[in-house]
Structure 1
Amino acid sequence: MTTPTVVLVTGVSSGIGRTTAEQFARRGCEVYGTVRNLATAAPLPGVTLVAMDVRDTDSVQRAVTDIISRAGRIDVLVNNAGMNMTGAVEETSIAEAHVMFETNVFGAMRTIQAVLPQMRQRRAGRIVNISSVLGFLPAPYMGLYSASKHALEGLSESLDHEVRQFGIRVTLVEPAYARTSLEANSPTAKSPIAAYDRERTASAAAVVREINKAPAPDSVAATIVEAALGKWQMRKTPPGPASLLSKLRRFMPAGPVDASLRKQFGLG
């Protein structure tokens, strides 16, 4: 009898994380999904829900210890938990930026540090960090979100070099827009500056248009599952706009890419 792959997915309350956990379960994996509040979390067939707040080191350590005590190991970690925020860089307070990085960067770092000891001991493991096309492209009025994803990309590439000696590999998945609550309900910076109103409004309208025509998170989830269980690649982009943007960034001159981005976001 084949031993199932043990998978930990963070942030499975909704959206990409929930769909990803479901797809891992359908592939026969033993899946653990984290939520911040077990009492309010909707059940997920085939997935064991575990309480975890990625912003709290003790919470992360407790959850990982609990999973290892149940399953004996963690083969795959998917760092999906994250948050977004809109607003000009000048409008965004340092405190708001701290919250963003606590979740998107340090949250991933906490879970990585919690699972790595047992992966190193077994000399096997796969870590999949959910980035974004904004991890390699700029995003006007989402500068802090983009910064957090750029940071996650640098962390992931460096980490992959460090842990390769132990049979562990790290992969980045870089989706574009998907119809999820994270993107549809992003908080805004609390101290707007009137001088940015016109372009901020145009940019927000462009994002809404993209989300409204974006696919459901199934294709992103499928890419994550393949990144975790298939042949290793440093970066994987879901089919469609994300793959196109990745190619444009790599092969087109910077000037046309810059002009295209400004046009898309309605900037003067």
Structure 2
Amino acid sequence: MKTVLITGANRGIGLETSLVFAKAGDKVFATMRNPDNAIELKERILKDKLEIVVMKMDVDSDDSVNECISKIYQDSGSVDVLVNNAGIERHGAIEEMDISVFKEVMETNYFGIVRCVKAVLPKMRESKKGCIINIASVAGRISSSPLAPYAASKFAVEAFSEALAQEVKSFNIRVGIIEPGIINTDMARDIRHGEPNSNYPQSFRFGGMFAASLENPTSPIMVADTILSVAESESWTLRHPVGPDAQPFLDWRKGMTDEQWVDWNAQNDDDWYDAVKETFGLDARINVD
């Protein structure tokens, strides 16, 4: 039985990840900013009689992270698997978002991971074992307007994780990066509602692509199963795209120059909608009609 710490576990990917680890026989510490909001998770714990401990932890706070993880060590003696899932998303045109938005997203999505990793590394290093899984995104390798704040934070997660993997391998600590595509979560459903009053067309029409994709949704359970598989394996593979659109989208982007990518997203509305339909088979106009 492993001791597993999961951040942002109150809903979506974090909730499902907590459940799959517990059902696999592991002891799970499911952490979140507001445990009172974890109604569904608590119901599932009672229904299935799962060994999941719900705890309060705000990844934006040094004190909160250190206090929570210290309690986990007092209870279990170790953290065998850390799943850094906590994250937020903000979208819009760069000119039209306040600088505080960029700072808020980076604080949670990037510095939150840094805090948690630094809190568990000493004991993992001493015991010469452990697994750290960071939830990034396809948006951590492909930047699209209007996701500048989110993509920037996930690019940072990718870079941090790649450097971390180099540092800790000699201590037998594995690092994995999970890169979901469009997954049926609250975050994705929020993106589908564009910004119709923006001066920049990308702020609205990109939401149409998400709305079209969510017509055939991919469950967060697929991501949770991948996270469990990575933790249970002995693989040192670093990156793990998840979802039917993830690897195809990465491959498609890889076949373009940077200039072609910029031009593709800078097209006028009609040409962009037609290109999305032709390339992905998605009618992004459904969010417009």
Q: TM exceeds 0.5?
A: yes
Structure 2 gaps of 5+ residues are: 266-271, 277-283
Distance 2:86 2:129 in 1: 23
- Of stretches 31-40 and 10-19 in structure 1, the one that deviates more from structure 2 is 31-40
Q: How does 1:214-233 map to 2 (within 5 A)?
A: 214-230=217-233, 231-233=235-237
Q: How does 1:211-250 map to 2 (within 5 A)?
A: 211-230=214-233, 231-250=235-254
Secondary structure of the 1:83 match is: coil
For residue 212 of structure 1, report the CA deviation from its aligned partner: 3.3
Partner of 2:26: 29
User: In angstroms, what is the RMSD of aligned CA positions?
Assistant: 2.3
Amino acid of the structure 2 residue aligned with 1:129: N
Amino acid of the structure 1 residue aligned with 2:244: G
Amino acid of the structure 2 residue aligned with 1:117: P
Distance 1:189 1:147 in 2: 19
Q: How does 1:134-173 map to 2 (within 5 A)?
A: 134-173=139-178
Alignment deviations for residues 74-108 of structure 1 (CA, whole Å, 9 cap, x no partner): 00000000011110122222111000000000001
Structure 1 gaps of 5+ residues are: none
CA, structure 1 residues 106+24, in 2 after alignment: closer, same or farther (shift >3 Å)? same
Instruction: Choose the corresponding residue for 1:204, options 204, 207, 211.
Output: 207
The alignment covers a number of residue pairs equal to: 260
For residue 138 of structure 1, report the CA deviation from its aligned partner: 1.5
For residue 62 of structure 1, report the CA deviation from its aligned partner: 0.8
CA, structure 1 residues 260+222, in 2 after alignment: closer, same or farther (shift >3 Å)? farther
Secondary structure of the 2:180 match is: coil
| Structure with max Cα Rg | 2
CA contact (8 A) 1:91 1:193 kept: no
CA contact (8 A) 2:183 2:243 kept: no
Partner of 2:268: none
Whose relative contact order is higher, 1 or 2, with alpha carbons under 8 Å and at least 6 apart?
1
Q: What TM-score, normalized to structure 2?
A: 0.83
Distance 1:160 1:181 in 2: 30
Q: How does 1:55-94 map to 2 (within 5 A)?
A: 55-94=60-99
Q: Quote the sequence identity (%).
A: 33
Amino acid of the structure 2 residue aligned with 1:74: V
